[in-house]
Structure 1
Amino acid sequence: MGVIDSVREQKSGMMADLVFAVAWVVGVNLLFDLTNGPDWAYYLCMFAGVIAYFGFFTSLEMARAQQ
């Protein structure tokens, strides 16, 4: 299986990942542009996006499994 076949197979999942990442980064940037928060808090919020990503998609999978 080539890379192109893999991308075609996972297209909707990759798009959801991209949308989540862009929304998280834009949201954190807007928040810290408005509040002028400290750099350490900015980086902590960016790292929290990784945890939020896995939490969101894990709970989504669990909800789909219960249906």
Structure 2
Amino acid sequence: MTHSDSTDPTDTDPESLADRLRTHVSENRGGMLSDLVFAIVWVTGVSLLYDFAFANSPQWVLYMFMLAGIPAYFGFFISLEIAKKGQ
């Protein structure tokens, strides 16, 4: 991982917040997009399940399904990384 120090004392032109944000997004565009897609798919799937399949369930079931997205996220991307290394 690259480390960029925005407080470089030899830098005469400090970056603005917009410049730093633009740099961060351009360096991490693919990862941010895949994170966003995973989040949208997960929340949509859980919402549909809760609204239709578990319509009579208490509210905490929805919250547990949403929390299950955290290990699902890491499990999905770790297994995807392992699969890419295996090729």
What TM-score do the two structures reach when normalised by structure 2? 0.71
Aligned residues: 67
Which residue does the alignment assign to 2:24? 6
Q: Which residue of the partner structure matches residue 49 of structure 1?
A: 69
Tell me if 1:32 matches 2:50.
yes
SS at match of 2:60: helix
Deviating more after overlay: 6-15 vs 44-53 = 6-15
Q: Summarize deviations over 1:18-54 as a string: whole Å, max 9, x none.
A: 0000110011111111131221111111000011000
Which structure: greater helix fraction? 1
Return the TM-score normalized by structure 1: 0.90
Please list every run of 5 or more consecutive structure 1 residues that lacks an aligned counterpart in the other structure. none
CA RMSD of aligned residues (A): 1.2
Structure 2 CA distance for aligned equivalents of residues 50 and 56 of structure 1: 10
Q: What is the distance in 1 between the residues matched to 2:38 and 2:27?
A: 19
Between the two structures, name the one with larger relative contact order (CA 8 Å, sep ≥ 6): 1
Percent pairwise identity: 49
**Larger of the two Rg values belongs to structure:** 2
In structure 2, how many angstroms separate the alpha carbons of the residues matched to 1:65 and 1:7? 25
Structure 2, unpaired ranges of 5+: 5-19
Runs of 4+ residues over 6 Å off in structure 1 = none
